[in-house]
């Protein structure tokens, strides 16, 4: 049973509003070490400098989108096992299927509740303490 306070998370989304919402949700779940990035390129740069346990990333982003970020992470051995949750604007099954091919761990359709966020994280890490 991992303690959420011991998990580090990177939120990648080009919208500040969404980053704030996800951050607030994670804080409600007990996360303390939360970082964020406005696009996949910045997110990857941050991860290579400071690996995290979990990435929660939007799909639609400039420079490097969510799928590109996922592929880049899976191709960099030091960070390739990082848990990855893809945020999608709608229930886009084609996108989810492509993300599955690239090794996504789970996905989250916006808008979501904190409970849904918790369930998606627990599906990867087990029940959070």
Partner 1 sequence: MSHAASDDSPGVERKIHVIQGEFHVAEGDDVMLTTILGSCVAACMRDPKARVGGMNHFLLPGATGDEGLRYGVQSMELLVNALLRRGARRERLEVKLFGGAHLFDGLSDVGAQNSEFGERFLRDEGLSYHGGSLRGERARRIQYWPGSGRARQILLAPAETTVFAAERRPTATPVVDSGGLELF
* Cβ atoms of 6 and 129 closer than 8 Å: no
Residue 16 within binding range of partner 1, rule CB under 8 A: yes
Nearer to partner 1, 52 or 83 (CB): 83
Residue 94 within binding range of partner 1, rule CB under 8 A: no
Residue 20 within binding range of partner 1, rule CB under 8 A: yes
Of 78, 92, 89, the C-alpha closest to 112 is 89
Residue 96 within binding range of partner 1, rule CB under 8 A: yes
Non-local CB neighbours of 89 within 8 Å, separated by 6+ positions: 59, 60, 109, 110
Residue 127 within binding range of partner 1, rule CB under 8 A: no
Of 17, 27, 16, the C-alpha closest to 7 is 27
- Per CB under 8 A, residues contacting partner 1 are 14-18, 20-21, 60, 62, 89-91, 93, 96, 100, 104-113, 116, 119, 123-124
């Amino acid at each position: 049973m991992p303690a959420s306070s011991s998990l580090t998370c990177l939120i990648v989304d080009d919208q500040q509003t969404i980053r704030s919402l996800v951050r607030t949700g994670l804080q409600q779940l007990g996360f303390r070490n939360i970082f964020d990035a406005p696009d996949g390129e910045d997110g990857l740069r941050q991860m290579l400098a400071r690996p995290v346990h979990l990435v929660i990333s939007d799909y639609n982003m400039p420079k490097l989108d969510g799928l590109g970020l996922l592929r880049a992470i899976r191709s960099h051995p030091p960070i390739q096992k990082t848990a990855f949750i893809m945020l999608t604007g709608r229930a886009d099954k084609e996108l989810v299927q492509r993300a599955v091919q690239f090794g996504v761990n789970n996905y989250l359709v916006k808008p979501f509740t904190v409970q849904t966020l918790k369930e998606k994280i627990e599906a990867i890490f087990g029940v959070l303490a």
